[in-house]
């Protein structure tokens, strides 16, 4: 850090929610738009995610859905909600600030509440519990502090088993920086974080990693993608 820099000038300090939403509002509401021109990765992505969920006990067993209620953060057009979550969950609520994206989800069987707010603004509803909170390719639009606070809110609404222990799981699936630092992208006002940055934020949010894997099968020119399954530390 040079003498002219301050501690606030970390990559995440340049994130601006208005700039992020302006970028996404100009994107077409289709899979190609959501995946930045790589629509062909969707099938591989969903297959990897489905396998990961099964490994943490949140798949389908003999046709029975393991998840009563799920939440998708940063849902976009619901590619994951429709391609994965509704297959394992009875009801899926979504959080997505761009209303034109979620219009396709209105009235879909199994889709519950649609919250058209940013993740940094979302507040859990009283009395609602989730067996699964899925977050993918959206957390880069939150500052480190916002991400910690968001994860704490997610943790507060995870379902609890009869034994009093947390049953619900938070999943984070995000790109990883291949540099030795987090990288700010001015085009969509987001940050691509290092694995160690994610782990530090999870720790600060009171979460522990119960399973983590790298997604395989993506084109080599893309960032590596890692999945993390998280639960509160005391469980």
Q: pTM, whole model, 2 decimals?
A: 0.94
| Pairwise CA distance, residues 27 & 40, whole Å | 18
Torsional sign, CA 134, 137, 141, 147:
positive
63: domain CATH number? 3.40.50.150
Give me the mean pLDDT over the 166-185 stretch: 97
- In the chain, how many domains are there? 1
Residue 72 structural domain: 11-232
**What is the bridge-based pairing of β-strands 132-136 and 169-175?**
parallel
93 falls within a domain: yes
Percent of the chain with pLDDT over 90: 89
158 falls within a domain: yes
pLDDT in tens, 53-111: 999 999 888 788 989 999 999 999 999 999 999 999 999 999 999 999 999 999 999 99
- Answer whether 213's CB lies under 8 Å from 202's CB: no
Percent of the chain with pLDDT over 70: 96
132 falls within a domain: yes
129 falls within a domain: yes
Angle, in degrees to the nearest 10, between helices 195-204 and 144-156: 50
3 falls within a domain: no
For residue 7, pLDDT over 60 is answered with no
222 falls within a domain: yes
Q: What is the mean pLDDT of the chain?
A: 94
| Pairwise CA distance, residues 146 & 40, whole Å | 31
Distances 11 to 30, 155, 183, 205 between C-alpha atoms, Å: 29, 26, 6, 20
46 falls within a domain: yes
2 falls within a domain: no
């Amino acid at each position: 850090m040079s003498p002219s820099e301050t501690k606030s000038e970390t990559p995440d300090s340049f994130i601006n929610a208005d700039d992020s939403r302006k970028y996404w509002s100009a994107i077409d509401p289709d899979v190609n738009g959501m995946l930045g021109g790589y629509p062909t990765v969707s099938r591989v992505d969903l297959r990897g995610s489905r396998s990961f969920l099964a490994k943490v006990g949140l798949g389908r067993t003999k046709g029975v859905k393991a998840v009563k209620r799920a939440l998708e953060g940063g849902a976009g057009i619901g590619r994951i909600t429709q391609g994965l979550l509704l297959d394992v969950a009875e009801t899926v609520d979504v959080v997505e600030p761009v209303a034109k994206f979620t219009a396709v989800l209105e009235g879909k069987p199994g889709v519950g509440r649609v919250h058209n707010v940013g993740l940094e603004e979302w507040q859990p509803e009283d009395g609602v519990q989730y067996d699964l909170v899925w977050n993918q390719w959206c957390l880069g639009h939150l500052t480190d502090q916002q991400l910690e606070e968001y994860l704490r809110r997610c943790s507060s609404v995870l379902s609890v088993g009869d034994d009093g222990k947390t049953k619900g799981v938070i999943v984070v699936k995000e790109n990883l920086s291949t540099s030795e630092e987090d990288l700010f992208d001015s085009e969509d006002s987001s940050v691509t974080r290092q694995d160690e940055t994610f782990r530090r934020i999870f720790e600060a949010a009171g979460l522990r990693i119960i399973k983590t894997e790298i997604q395989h099968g993506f084109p080599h020119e893309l960032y590596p993608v890692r999945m993390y399954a998280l639960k509160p530390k005391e469980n």
